[in-house]
Structure 1
Amino acid sequence: MTLRAVLIGAQTYGLTGVHADVELMHAVLRNHGFTDVRTCTEELASYAGIRTALSRLGEATRPGDGVVVYYSGHGALLGELQYLVPVDMADSTPTDFRGYLAEELTAAVRVLTDVTPNVTVVLDCCHSGGAVREAAYESGRWALKSVELPRVARAAGLERAAALSRPGDPLVPNVVRLTACQQHDSAYEVELRPGAGRQGVFTAALAKVLDPQRHPRVPWSVLVAHARDRIKQQQVRQWPDAGGPSGRLPFSLEEPPEPERLPLVRRDGRFVVPGGAVFGLGIEDTVSMVFPGGQPEGGGRETSMAATVEVMKAGDALLCTPPSAAPRPPAGELLTAALPPGSYALPVRVHDRRHVLIDAHDLFAEALRKELARCPRLAETEDKGEAFATVRARNGTCEVLNAEGQPFRKPSGTARSDPARLTALLEELARGERVRRLRDPEGAGRLDAGPEVRFEAEHAAGSGEWRVLRPVGERLYDGDSYRVTVANHSGVPLYFWVIGVGLSGRTALVTNDQPSGYRLEPCGDEHRSTRTTASVKIYWPSDVPAQGPRPETVHLLVGDRPMDLRGLASRDAPSRSACRTDPALGALLQEVWYGVRDQLLDVGEEFHYRVWTVHADALPQPQESET
């Protein structure tokens, strides 16, 4: 296996830190064992040079390799055109558009994923095309990584984009996307130290958290959360994040098990879990607050502190620390200091637990009870009527049955010998049951704005015949697809997420390419105030018995703030993706680019949201075979 990378740096339109970004990333990758690192700067970062560099990377890549595509420079948005800004962008003519399109980037990345699934794309650029917000930064210190470009060659760019994208093209799988900012917002470069020159804020933060000595065996999702907090503490309004299979360890395919991390912030002197209601928290629930390193720069041991949910304010959970906690330094200092980068909360015991009936009478049953006692969201019951699941052990095999007596998954002999593995399955199923019951918040947490929402299904994917889905009573069959359209008729931006709880009980953040939410611009804005998601195919997983009907639930959650909802998804991914997606006409085309993230969360305001839901019955056979 060879670790390969192409580092593209297009230093244009006033940027001065791009070459430093490339040099820093080169050192980081060398430190991680990359032996084939190609740089593409100066005249090589032209439109033709970028195409050539990515083409040659594709030709060199072999099965089993790990590949990184990195870009630092300007990013722009011109109507429907999303593109990187090569060094010869100014040479564009009405018939020769020199922007490197998102469609072209996706096509190049697709070539790589056809050879190896271990692909990471890092974009340190803005994607706002000049439609950026003013910021009160020290004059001359900060530089936007976006640029106002003349509307040259737009027709030529649109024509090239249309030739590259076709309805029915699959989105690029297996791509980890690390990106600096939201689609219509900005990334920055800054002089980190006097006289040291400028550096991309995202690249500098990413390099810090990629130190293997400081953060060994930590997945991308956690590392980027650390980078996000570092950027936040610099008072920079950009929200980097990781899309795609971000549970992987850096530059590998390994996905280690991770605890259920909840976001944690400080607001008006209080610890707060933003969006705590969505994650199932309620008054008097207990969590453990975890502070990596015990100080902003890390390097120390991890510190934790117990806390209880005291108040639910809108959709947020406000915490209090019990007097018995008696925090000692450095934990005591955290009561007044800024939170260390990467701080989070772990649920310890929550009110909204799911009950399990154990139908076994041997040492296995006792071992399983001990495992359940350690689970914050599970509890044993002897009442079959209140059990969401029954564990039945017979003749060396173990089954987990739903309320109708159907196995959630096919029986497993190994589960009987591994209570911890069985408990992990129960936790996953319990999460699915909890998320399946997601509904509008009560009182002040309810979103005032009322978007227009439409759920549609297509029988026999690809037929082109879409019908509107009712909230309840629908039937979906193996091979059907669904999609969701959301229109913002209000005067404020909104964010939306699509969350699916499949017939297997697995939970998927369908919009996982933007875990912090797809942004809907205010009604009448020149950018998108209406979006249609890519279509999602219903399929019957191989580990689920072909017995139906089984519940299939799709939620649309619309909120007034960005919020990372990755924690709602099942951590144990199925052997086949729970969502087989195809791009829908009218949707922005490229999953690689869609990792871009929202502006910094204004921690002075609460999270308000609403939920729209379709509860359907899924059946294993295609519709035409049903008798």
Structure 2
Amino acid sequence: MRAVLIGAQTYGLTGVHADVELMRRVLTDRGFTDLDVRTEERARYEGIREALARLRGAVRPGDGVVVYYSGHGGLSDGLQYLVPVDMGESTSTDFRGYLAEELTAAVRALTAVTPNVTCVLDSCHSGGAVREAAYESGLWALKSVRLPRVPPDAALARAALLAAPDDSLVPNVVRLTACEQHGSAYETELRPGAGRQGVFTAALADLLDATAGRRVPWSVLMARARDRIKQQQVLQRPDAGGPSGRLPFSLEEPAEPERLPLLRREGRFRVPGGALFGLGPEDEVRMVFPDDTARNEGRERSVPATVDEMHVGDAVLRVTLAAVPPPQADELSSAVVPPGSYALAIRVHDRRQVLIDAAGSFADALRKELARSPRLAETSEADKAFAVVRVRDGRPEVLNRQGQPARRPTDPAYADASRLTALLDELARGERVRWLRDPRDSSRLDAGLDVLFEARRPTGNGDWRALKPMGESLYDGDLYRATVNNRSGTPLYFWVIGVGLSGRTALVTNDQPSGYRTEPHTDRVTAPVRVYWPPDVPEQGPRPETVHLIVGDRPMDLSGLASREARDRSAHTADPALGALLQEVWDGVRDQQMDGGEEFHYRVWTVHADALPRTREAST
């Protein structure tokens, strides 16, 4: 187990060295034996490069690896970078910021040896962010800094050498960040006389200590960290990217049901944005509440509930307190939802129909699995089936509506009935997301905005062409993007959700899980996304490829719409040259309490296209 711990205490920060020492102790307790600590003069630009190069040379297959950074972060001139201690020595020909592209390349080199890599960044990613007045009192130090302007030519040239437009991202890296790309991170004195410390590092370390010996994945830890920081009244939002369903510092990823946000308003529990997650009246959910003592972190208690009504996109829950033991009933009467609480969808009424064209023990086992599924049901009518399961030559396969195999016959999902049911569940989920529509009630967003989808070939100088909502053809390798023009007078947030030709769903705007913020009267363009034909899908087409752009009036984590398997596939979809830092498909972290008190209003724009396996050049 190896780690590089970098602490660049610059421009007024005083808690960075304490952050590094705290993480050194936490990692040592977790079994790390090779820790390379870089602070003060060792945290210069060349020192950071040398540390990561040394780590790359020392790491061995199967090693657990951590890259940790505490200090200032910068975002300017289209560049994203960490701020080494010699940043002030930058010149027009020698930029001393450690670029996002450099960190991406260094981490990619590590994953070429071991997939067990965790990157933790406790820094602000927005140079010179606008501060709230409450944080200008001296109690809080912003981990972003306004630097004397250095011509960016040298940095841009260095970034261009490191990133190519079609580079894949780094699918195996767990990324834990103190805030959003354009957000702020802070350090403060957590206890009188103890000195300053990073708010995020302190919360993360405390939770790692509290859950030692328990099977608590990163996704849960980060949700708890977000809650703790919110309770401190800090305007800072930690995020988690990559395979955050893993247990800390391991490759083990427990099979966890998907978590939905849960809050309480006007005396009733709600799942905010429940309509987007497919909930409707009389659907059944389970509310899960963590134990409220540190020694029992990871223990949870659950209470069944039913969706009573939909209100402005939120699912309002009905709880029968008579069926709940008195201690829990008293807690449910409280006005406060415990930090880390969430909801699970148990039974929804949109049950997709499956035709089983088979007999024998495998078919019998599959029928038993479908009978237990909250989202699937067997049918004998072919025209009602969204999928057909048949057995040929003793081998099961799943066919889509067009009669095409959903996966290659050698796919491990066909190993037994339970795994095949999991595949059908994922395909059904993709079907539901594929036909996501504008809400027809008061949850519809009323704001002036325009949306444009465009596509182009990946090579050459072809111009971007506008995409129609229906009838377009996209080929393996084509690029598409979306532009949002916010004509309203308030900030809006948007997400791009893709339902690929494989039926998997992915959060395409993967570097901002809570939504891209677009300011009033401005345009914002997404990074180009590449149409990708997965190797486990037979090259038979056309197959449906759907792109949704969802615009809402508040930040909200929509990663619950993404398939777990889509994480690794979407490593091929974005363009790292645009400067996003270790972009990953976001997974597993949900809003446990929504910011603010208003309901979620949204609209949906969609392109339904046909995906074809041949490249456009090969088809002409």
TM-score of the alignment, normalized to the shorter chain, above 0.5: yes
Q: Distance in 2 between matches of 1:100 and 1:4?
A: 21
Corresponding residue of 2:340: 342
Which of 556, 562, 575 matches 1:583?
575
1:508 deviates by: 1.8
When residues 624 and 16 of structure 1 are mapped into structure 2, their CA distance, relative to the original with a 3 A threshold, is closer
**In 2, are the aligned partners of 1:310 and 1:318 still within 8 Å (CA)?**
yes
> TM-score of the superposition, structure 1-length normalised?
0.90
Q: Distance in 2 between matches of 1:416 and 1:112?
A: 33
When residues 414 and 598 of structure 1 are mapped into structure 2, their CA distance, relative to the original with a 3 A threshold, is closer
Which of 537, 541, 554 matches 2:547?
554
Q: Distance in 2 between matches of 1:388 and 1:594?
A: 27
Q: Distance in 1 between matches of 2:474 and 2:585?
A: 28
Corresponding residue of 2:527: 533
**In 1, are the aligned partners of 2:413 and 2:423 still within 8 Å (CA)?**
no
Corresponding residue of 1:117: 115
Q: Distance in 2 between matches of 1:36 and 1:110?
A: 20
When residues 607 and 506 of structure 1 are mapped into structure 2, their CA distance, relative to the original with a 3 A threshold, is same
Q: Deviations over 1:183-218 (max 9, x none)?
A: 222111222222222221111121123237457333
Code of the residue aligned with 1:82 in structure 2: it is Q
**In 2, are the aligned partners of 1:516 and 1:598 still within 8 Å (CA)?**
no
Which of 387, 400, 409 matches 2:398?
400
1:592 deviates by: 5.2
Q: Deviations over 1:69-122 (max 9, x none)?
A: 111112222342322222233344455443333233233323323433332211
Q: Distance in 2 between matches of 1:623 and 1:233?
A: 53
1:492 deviates by: 2.6
**In 1, are the aligned partners of 2:183 and 2:237 still within 8 Å (CA)?**
no
Give the match's secondary structure for 2:442.
Answer: helix
1:235 deviates by: 2.2
The count of aligned residue pairs is 618
Deviates more, 1:612-621 or 1:165-174: 165-174
Q: Distance in 2 between matches of 1:204 and 1:584?
A: 30
Corresponding residue of 2:269: 271
1:381 deviates by: 2.7
Corresponding residue of 2:611: 618
When residues 334 and 26 of structure 1 are mapped into structure 2, their CA distance, relative to the original with a 3 A threshold, is farther
Corresponding residue of 2:562: 569
> TM-score of the superposition, structure 2-length normalised?
0.90
- RMSD (Å) for aligned C-alpha atoms: 3.1
1:279 deviates by: 0.6
Corresponding residue of 2:54: 56
When residues 9 and 460 of structure 1 are mapped into structure 2, their CA distance, relative to the original with a 3 A threshold, is closer
Q: Distance in 2 between matches of 1:446 and 1:116?
A: 46
1:395 deviates by: 4.9
Corresponding residue of 1:605: 598
Deviates more, 1:263-272 or 1:181-190: 263-272
Q: Structure 1 unaligned segments of length 5 or more: list them.
A: none
Corresponding residue of 1:82: 80
Q: Structure 2 unaligned segments of length 5 or more: list them.
A: none
**In 2, are the aligned partners of 1:124 and 1:179 still within 8 Å (CA)?**
yes
Deviates more, 1:51-60 or 1:214-223: 214-223
**In 2, are the aligned partners of 1:181 and 1:598 still within 8 Å (CA)?**
no
Deviates more, 1:311-320 or 1:301-310: 311-320
Corresponding residue of 1:219: 217
Code of the residue aligned with 1:283 in structure 2: it is P
Q: Deviations over 1:315-343 (max 9, x none)?
A: 22222212443343246324416433322
**In 1, are the aligned partners of 2:379 and 2:385 still within 8 Å (CA)?**
yes
Corresponding residue of 1:32: 30
Code of the residue aligned with 1:434 in structure 2: it is R
Q: Distance in 1 between matches of 2:340 and 2:369?
A: 28
Code of the residue aligned with 1:580 in structure 2: it is H
Q: Distance in 2 between matches of 1:214 and 1:61?
A: 25
Q: Distance in 2 between matches of 1:221 and 1:52?
A: 31
1:39 deviates by: 0.8
Code of the residue aligned with 2:545 in structure 1: it is E
Give the match's secondary structure for 1:126.
Answer: coil
**In 2, are the aligned partners of 1:226 and 1:341 still within 8 Å (CA)?**
yes
When residues 467 and 233 of structure 1 are mapped into structure 2, their CA distance, relative to the original with a 3 A threshold, is same
When residues 138 and 589 of structure 1 are mapped into structure 2, their CA distance, relative to the original with a 3 A threshold, is closer
**Matches for 1:429-448 after TM superposition, within 5 Å:** 429-448=427-446
Q: Distance in 1 between matches of 2:585 and 2:198?
A: 20
Give the match's secondary structure for 2:88.
Answer: helix
**In 1, are the aligned partners of 2:508 and 2:585 still within 8 Å (CA)?**
no
1:253 deviates by: 3.0
Give the match's secondary structure for 1:551.
Answer: strand
Q: Distance in 1 between matches of 2:41 and 2:614?
A: 57
Code of the residue aligned with 2:563 in structure 1: it is S
Give the match's secondary structure for 2:253.
Answer: coil
When residues 95 and 358 of structure 1 are mapped into structure 2, their CA distance, relative to the original with a 3 A threshold, is closer
Identity %, equivalent residues? 69
When residues 331 and 225 of structure 1 are mapped into structure 2, their CA distance, relative to the original with a 3 A threshold, is farther
Q: Distance in 2 between matches of 1:270 and 1:296?
A: 27
1:473 deviates by: 0.8
Deviates more, 1:25-34 or 1:263-272: 263-272
Q: Distance in 2 between matches of 1:26 and 1:175?
A: 20
When residues 147 and 31 of structure 1 are mapped into structure 2, their CA distance, relative to the original with a 3 A threshold, is same
Corresponding residue of 1:184: 182
Q: Distance in 1 between matches of 2:576 and 2:21?
A: 39
Q: Distance in 1 between matches of 2:562 and 2:556?
A: 14
Corresponding residue of 1:319: 317
When residues 487 and 151 of structure 1 are mapped into structure 2, their CA distance, relative to the original with a 3 A threshold, is same
**In 1, are the aligned partners of 2:168 and 2:571 still within 8 Å (CA)?**
no
Are residues 1:235 and 2:223 paired?
A: no
Code of the residue aligned with 1:571 in structure 2: it is R
